[in-house]
Structure 1
Amino acid sequence: MSEKIVDEILNNPQLLSVLTEKIYGKLKDEIVIKKLEENSESIKALQEEIKKHTEAIQALQQTTQSLQETVNKHTEAIQALQEAVKKQGEAIQALQQTTQSLQETVNRHTQAIVSLQETVNKHTEAIQALQEEVKKQGEAIQALQETVNKHTEAIEALQRAVLRLGREVKKLSIEVGGFTNRAGRGLERVMLKLYRKALELHGVDPKRVVHGKMVDDEGVIEKGKVFEVDFYETNEYVYVFEIKNFADKGTYDQVIVRKKLFSARYKDKKIKVFVVANFVDEKVKKKLEEEGVEIIASHVIK
């Protein structure tokens, strides 16, 4: 208890000064001085004790100073920690904003995914419907294939029949050719009579048409070669005729040859060429007409 009081006195300079003055007044009193002398040993012991306390106080002050430095360091560390916490708070706030923005983006993506899923479902239904349609078409194609197979078999049978018919036609052609060679001149006369009216409309007299031979003396086609011709001559024109049952490309070649022969032979007259036929190929007809040839025919074959 006394040590505590002493400590408080020593740590309070004002109080110590007041006490000193009071004590000094008391010391003037002889009794006190005498008493003090009697208690000098005690005072010395007390001084020693005070010295020890002073040393302890100094050591405590040093400890306190060291503690204050430690507190200051802790304060600085706390301030630095507060700054770090503040920065972390700002970072957390920014992270919260980013998280909120990310959540909004996720929500939009979720809506888009839902919409896409609905679209996929619709496409799936459409694909299923299309698969059903393809299945039906496959069945129809299979049925059509069976029909085509039947048609193919029928066509193959028809082709075989055509081949047989071709052989028969070839045989008939040979027979008709022989007949034509024998009866050709008579047939030409019949055709001239048959188309007499048409020829007369062109100013031609069928009765005057003669059949003869022309030798290529000038080598227009082949010098010395003999060609059979049907024609007749007037003062201004030479009418040349090619009479056929069917006028084809061969007829065109014959007409061009005879046109050249007569043009070379009758240089002072106009050459008028006629093709008289029951049938004429459409392309041949067009080419002959481009050459200025008159076509008299019953049927044009395309």
Structure 2
Amino acid sequence: MSSDVDIIVEKIINNPRLMDALFNRFYERVKEELIVKKIEELEKKMSELITNSNRIWESIQATQNEIKAIQEDNKKIWESIEKQREETKRIWESIQATQNEIKGIREENAKIWKAIERINISFSTFTSRSGHYIERTIMNLYKEALELHGIDSSKVTHGVIEDTEGIVHKGRKYEIDFYETNGVIYLFEIKNHADEGAIEQLEIREKILSSLHKKPIKKFLVANSIEKRIKRRAERRGITVIAGIVIE
């Protein structure tokens, strides 16, 4: 068997044409196998490439969807910011309008205060000429405020008391404004502008009145104007203050 193969191989080697034909047949066979194998490899790689491409495309589509969602969110955010800007603009315009109103009010108040000062000057001048009349006028000005304390200003009496006990100076007489009801004496000191002297005068009259009448006494200081520190001092001493203007 081995010798037959050797003989055939020898014949092929010694026959160039047969050798060429055999080589060509072998080459074609190997070539076909290589091509098929290469095609299979290419098909496999193509399949993998298509699979990867699909995944990439899906990833791209997902990314595009995310970008679209982000763009929509950004659009909403910018719309919100724009609305906020418009609202801020309206608020600022409102603030400016309010500031202008406040400025106008301040200017008007300044005019009112000047008018009040002129009135106070007029009151001061008038008081120097007719004290008792101006006291009655002041009481009438604050009639409603007095009514809140249960006082009828029309019943406030102007009179004179004498220091018979020598509380301050025996025999000295003092003018007072008072109002008595339900066993209580309401004692008034009426001033255009109340100062520390008004507190002192009210307390002196209270002491003398207490020595003459054993009744409860409620003190009232009625004034067109009073300094804030004087008002606090009076109230600490149990005096009810009714004033038109409290000066800082």
TM-score, reference length from structure 1 = 0.40
More helix by share: 1
Larger radius of gyration: 1
